[in-house]
């Protein structure tokens, strides 16, 4: 091929290379634009996603009732929330194999006794599936157990789970988690204490702390 022909052929090829370069630049720009939109979307969704994860790992419901009961009975609202978490994970309508009902898993016999002593003359067992009643009765029991053990949270929680007779047998007001011989109760007490600390940290505003 003559030098003139080569020059013409090269001239024909150059525009095609230039066109390809422009297409590649547009594609790159489109990719960068899409990536930027995706990043902005993810950033805007992060608070919602964080909240969803938090609700899944450590749910909180009925915080208005929890705050009310904490005020009325002089309790830590995070402790009430932690007991509900350990007992039912805030799922309404749960009934245990032992017949305990609702959010704080109160047995009908315990509820009737609390109703009698607290003036709840109109109480019926079905009321335990109402969050207001269930949390009120569970909080009443927690307050009573804390008073019984001079504020010892470990002993009160052990009694809530296994009964006051066992908590008395294991050390009463001097009870420590490591001294609880029942693995189920020991794990329960530790779970509630850990959850209480997390509720204080994650839900301070919601719980009025």
Q: Are 67 and 53 in the same domain?
A: no
- At 41, the pLDDT band (50, 70, 90 cuts) reads low
Angstrom distance (rounded) from CA 38 to CA 69 = 45
Round the CA-based radius of gyration of the chain to a whole number and report it: 31
Q: Are 173 and 98 in the same domain?
A: yes
Q: Are 52 and 88 in the same domain?
A: no
Question: Domain range for residue 195?
Answer: 63-202
The number of distinct structural domains making up the chain is 2
Say if 9 falls within a structural domain: yes
Say if 208 falls within a structural domain: no
Closest residue by Cα to residue 34 from 26, 23, 24 = 26
Say if 5 falls within a structural domain: yes
Say if 207 falls within a structural domain: no
- At 189, the pLDDT band (50, 70, 90 cuts) reads very high
Q: Are 19 and 99 in the same domain?
A: no
Give the active site residues. Answer: 87
Q: Are 31 and 103 in the same domain?
A: no
Yes or no: say if 151 and 141 are a contact pair by the CB < 8 Å rule.
Answer: no
Say if 102 falls within a structural domain: yes
Q: Are 111 and 35 in the same domain?
A: no
Domain boundary among 33, 57, 81: 57
Phi and psi at residue 95, to the nearest 5°: -130, 130
Residue 1 has pLDDT above 80, yes or no: no
Taking residues 176-184, what's their average pLDDT?
97
- Tens of pLDDT along 103-143? 999 999 999 999 988 887 678 889 899 999 999 999 999 99
Q: Are 129 and 151 in the same domain?
A: yes
């Amino acid at each position: 091929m003559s030098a003139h022909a080569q020059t013409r052929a090269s001239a024909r090829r150059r525009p095609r290379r230039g066109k390809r370069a422009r297409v590649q630049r547009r594609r790159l720009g489109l990719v960068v634009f899409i990536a930027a939109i995706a990043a902005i979307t993810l950033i805007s969704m992060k608070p919602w996603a964080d909240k969803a994860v938090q609700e899944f790992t450590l749910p909180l419901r009925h915080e208005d009732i929890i705050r009310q009961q904490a005020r009325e009975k002089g309790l830590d609202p995070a402790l009430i929330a932690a007991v509900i978490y350990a007992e039912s994970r805030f799922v309404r309508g749960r009934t245990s194999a032992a017949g305990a009902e609702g959010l704080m898993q109160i047995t009908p016999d315990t509820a009737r006794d609390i109703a009698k002593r607290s003036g709840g003359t109109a109480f019926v067992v079905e009321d335990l599936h109402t969050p207001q009643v269930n949390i009120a009765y569970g909080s009443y029991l927690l307050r009573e157990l804390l008073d019984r053990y001079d504020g010892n949270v470990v002993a009160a929680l052990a009694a809530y789970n296994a009964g006051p007779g066992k908590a008395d047998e294991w050390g009463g007001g001097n009870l420590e988690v490591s001294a609880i011989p029942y693995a189920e109760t020991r794990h329960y007490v530790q779970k509630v204490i850990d959850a209480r600390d997390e509720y204080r940290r994650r839900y301070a505003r919601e719980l009025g702390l």
